[in-house]
């Protein structure tokens, strides 16, 4: 028998917020019948970006139900940008901890929340992409790498506890070990390496490029009174427009190739070619 905390038992016996939000702002569905657990989370978001209601339907064991119940309690009344920061560890901690073999239940909660927020924003989640490593549970390398990093996993067994990967036929254990070694090594040497290699849809690529522009490139250009805007992404061709001081700058072409393109290639994809739009 599992050693569940009183709080897990209490949330399992008296789950909060069971059901579906009427006219939801966003819905996140993760898991499947085949996998043995699934969670459908629906949220209502008001104009201020606050989650005013959250409800769940869960198929799964006691810790899956308790994690879902805990998640809805945690996010109700929360700003979206705060809710986004919730990790699976937060969910587990809310419940006073979960047995290590059950950590994947808290991961399912976090994934459903991400999916619901993405659905609200109308964006496609990159998590579904990547190479499927565990055929039994349909877990991709990206999900595994993320779990290794976020929860500081150090063994194949821990990967299974958190993501379910490797919990079926066991054929992927060697590959999991490889990913584990690479990720752990990568953490010390080159943290972005694996992310860069991911295959992306155009939509994901746009999202990623926007992110990098916002986070990395714009702040740097702004220091010199310049700015940049994304105009179009067509395959690997990225069209941008330089604004502000950059617009008439003699060295704008150099900025574009040496700085912007280099940065995007480094953080998004090697294949990108950046051009300035008219």
Partner 1 sequence: MNCGSDKVIYMDNNATTRVAPEVVDAMMPFLTDCYGNPSSMHTFGGQVGRAINEARAAIAELIGADPEEIVFTSCGTESDSTAILSALQTYPEKRHVVTTRVEHPAVKNLCENLDGLTGHKHRITRLPVEADGTLSMDQYRESLGEDTAIVSVMWANNETGVIFPVEEMAAIARERGILFHTDAVQAVGKIPINLKDSCIDFLSISGHKLHAPKGIGVLYIRKGTPFIPFLNGGHQEHGRRGGTENVASIVGLGEACRLAAAKMTEENTRVRALRDKLETGLLTKIPRALLNGHKTERLPNTANISFEYVEGEAILLHMNRYQICASSGSACTSGSLEPSHVLRAMGVPFTAAHGSIRFSLSIYNSEAEVDFVLDKMPAIIENLRAMSPFWSEANK
173 binds partner 1 per the rule CB under 8 A: no
Stretch that binds partner 1, among 58-66, 125-133, 143-151, 257-265 (CB under 8 A): 58-66
Q: Please state the closest distance from residue 64 (CB atom) to partner 1, in A.
A: 8
d(CA 158, CA 36): 19
Cβ–Cβ under 8 Å, residues 272 and 265: yes
Stretch that binds partner 1, among 9-17, 71-79, 88-96, 147-155 (CB under 8 A): 9-17
Q: What is the dihedral of CA 70, 76, 82, 84, to 10 degrees?
A: 60
> What's the CA angle centered on 42, arms 200 and 93, to 5 degrees?
85
d(CA 109, CA 86): 10
Beta bridge partners of residue 233, listed in sequence order: 238
Cβ neighbourhood burial of 181 (10 Å; 0-12, 13-18, 19+): exposed
Q: Please state the closest distance from residue 67 (CB atom) to partner 1, in A.
A: 12
The terminus-to-terminus CA distance of the chain in angstroms comes to 67
65 binds partner 1 per the rule CB under 8 A: yes
18 binds partner 1 per the rule CB under 8 A: yes
Catalytic residue flag (residue 35):
yes
Task: By CB under 8 A, name the one of 160, 183, 204, 255 that touches partner 1.
Answer: 160
Cβ–Cβ under 8 Å, residues 84 and 64: no
Which is catalytic among the residues 35, 134, 172, 246? 35
Q: Please state the closest distance from residue 3 (CB atom) to partner 1, in A.
A: 12
Q: Please state the closest distance from residue 9 (CB atom) to partner 1, in A.
A: 8
- Site of interaction with partner 1 (CB under 8 A): 2, 9, 12-13, 15, 18, 29, 33-34, 36-40, 57-62, 64-65, 101-102, 136-137, 160, 164, 167-168
């Amino acid at each position: 028998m599992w050693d569940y905390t009183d709080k897990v038992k209490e949330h399992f016996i008296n789950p909060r917020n069971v059901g579906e939000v009427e006219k939801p702002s966003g819905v996140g569905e993760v898991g499947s019948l085949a996998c043995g657990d699934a969670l459908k989370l629906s949220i209502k978001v008001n104009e201020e970006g606050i989650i005013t209601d959250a409800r769940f339907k869960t198929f799964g064991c006691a810790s899956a139900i308790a994690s879902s119940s805990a998640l809805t309690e945690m996010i109700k009344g929360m700003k979206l940008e705060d809710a986004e920061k919730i990790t699976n560890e937060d969910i587990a901690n809310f419940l006073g901890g979960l047995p290590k073999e059950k950590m994947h239940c808290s991961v399912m909660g976090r994934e459903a929340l991400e999916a619901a927020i993405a659905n609200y924003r109308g964006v496609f989640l990159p998590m579904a992409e990547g190479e499927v490593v565990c055929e039994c549970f349909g877990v991709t390398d990206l999900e595994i790498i993320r779990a290794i990093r976020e929860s500081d996993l150090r063994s194949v067994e821990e990967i299974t506890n958190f993501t379910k990967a490797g919990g079926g036929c066991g054929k992927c254990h060697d590959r999991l070990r490889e990913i584990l070694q690479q990720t752990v090594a990568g953490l010390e040497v080159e943290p972005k390496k694996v992310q860069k290699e991911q295959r992306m849809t155009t939509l994901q690529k746009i999202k990623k490029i926007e992110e990098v522009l916002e986070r990395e490139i714009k702040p740097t250009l702004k220091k010199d009174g310049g700015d940049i805007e994304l105009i179009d992404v067509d395959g690997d061709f990225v069209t941008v427009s330089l604004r502000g001081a950059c617009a008439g700058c003699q060295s704008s072409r150099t900025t574009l190739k040496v700085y912007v393109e280099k940065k995007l290639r480094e953080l998004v994809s090697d294949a990108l070619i950046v051009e300035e739009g008219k």
